[in-house]
Amino acid sequence: MAPYLFLCLFLFFSHLYASFSSSGSHSCSSLIQFKNSFSITEQASLFCGFKSYPKTNSWKEGTDCCSWDGVTCDHLNAHVIALDLSCSWLSGNFPSNTTLFLLPHLQKLNLAYNDFNHSKIPSEFGRFTSLFYLNLSDARFAEEVPSQVSHLSNWFHLISPLGFMTMRN
Distance CA 23, CA 69 (A): 15
Task: Give 33 or 148: the residue with its C-beta nearer to ligand NAG.
Answer: 33
Residue type, position 76, single letter: L
Measured in degrees and rounded to the nearest 5, phi and psi for residue 152 equal -60, -55
Please say which residue, 13 or 34, places its beta carbon nearer to ligand NAG: 34
Q: How far is the CB of 112 from ligand NAG (least distance, A)?
A: 4
CA distance 95 to 134: 17
Residue type, 12: F
Whole-number minimum distance, CB 140 to ligand NAG, in Å?
A: 10
> What is the rounded CA–CA span in Å between residue 156 and residue 57?
30
Closest separation between CB of residue 85 and ligand NAG, Å? Answer: 9
Q: Which of 130, 127, 143, 132 is nearest to 110 (CA)?
A: 132
Give the residue with the Cβ less far from ligand NAG, 68 or 94: 94
Cβ proximity to ligand NAG: between 117 and 148 the closer is 117
Q: Rounded to the nearest whole angstrom, what is the least distance from the CB of residue 18 to ligand NAG in the complex? A: 29
The binding site for ligand NAG (CB under 6 A) comprises 33, 50, 86, 92-93, 95, 97, 99, 110, 112-113, 117, 135, 137, 159, 165
